[in-house]
Structure 1
Amino acid sequence: MNVFLVLISILIPLAMYFLRKKWDKLHFIFNLITLVSTLVFGNIVSVSIYQIIKDKTVFMTNIHAIFLNPFFLIAGAYLGIYIIYQLLNVTLKS
């Protein structure tokens, strides 16, 4: 499974890079998805931390429940792939 995750984290940004080369509008779409993912990711984190502070619960044990939220996981995964894609863009342009 670890090898699969590493391969995916390499192959998807490469595919994004080459697809963007073929169709310029994909750059805008990738950026738009990143904007939505960042909002979802940040809002889930802030709401979770606010709930912990409001309930006066133990931070370290309750914050891990955030990892059960599929929207958090999907948004975080896309942001990680997008960062690699952007690093690939910058590296290949220079």
Structure 2
Amino acid sequence: MQLVLIVGAILVPILMFVLRQRSVAAVFDLLAALSVLLANIAAGLAVLEIKQENTEFTTHVHEIFMDPLFLATSGYIGVYSVYRLLVATSRTWQTKRA
């Protein structure tokens, strides 16, 4: 499972970079915006629950990392970040060549 995560974290951003036509890039951007929004909502709800139960100083705080919504959205944000760095690096290299 660890190998799948590592290889996926490397290959998925590269695949996104290869597929970065305008319409597909817009979908990647929209998914990233939704992922940030949903991850923030999941984190906010977890913080609210923790504050309501007064369990700030227990391991209950770490339950956010078990939330499938938080894991999926933050995982996409990580992959998307690497993709955007590849795009920025590509543009920098193209500018230096010109």
Matched, 1:52 2:20: no
Q: Provide runs of 4+ in structure 1 moved above 3 Å.
A: none
Evaluate the alpha carbon distance shift between residue 44 and residue 59 of structure 1 in structure 2; reply closer, same or farther with a 3 A threshold: farther
Give the structure 2 partner of residue 88 of structure 1.
Answer: 86
Return closer, same or farther for 1:59/1:75 CA change in 2, 3 Å cut-off: farther
Query: Counterparts in 2 of 1:53-72, with a 5 A limit?
Result: 53-72=51-70
Query: Gaps spanning 5+ residues in structure 1: where?
Result: none
Larger Rg: 2
After superposition, residues 1-94 of structure 1 pair within 5 angstroms as 1-20=1-20, 23-94=21-92
Q: Could you tell me the TM-score, scaled by structure 2's length? A: 0.85
State the alpha-carbon separation in 1 of the partners of residues 51 and 58 from structure 2. Answer: 12
Task: Return the letter of the residue paired with 2:56.
Answer: V
User: Cα distance, 1:60 vs. partner?
Assistant: 4.2
Give the aligned residue type for 1:46.
G
Deviations 1:54-74 (A, max 9, x none): 211134411211122111110
Length, aligned pairs only: 92
Report which stretch shifted further, 2-11 or 68-77.
2-11
Q: Please report the TM-score for the alignment, with normalisation by the length of structure 1.
A: 0.89
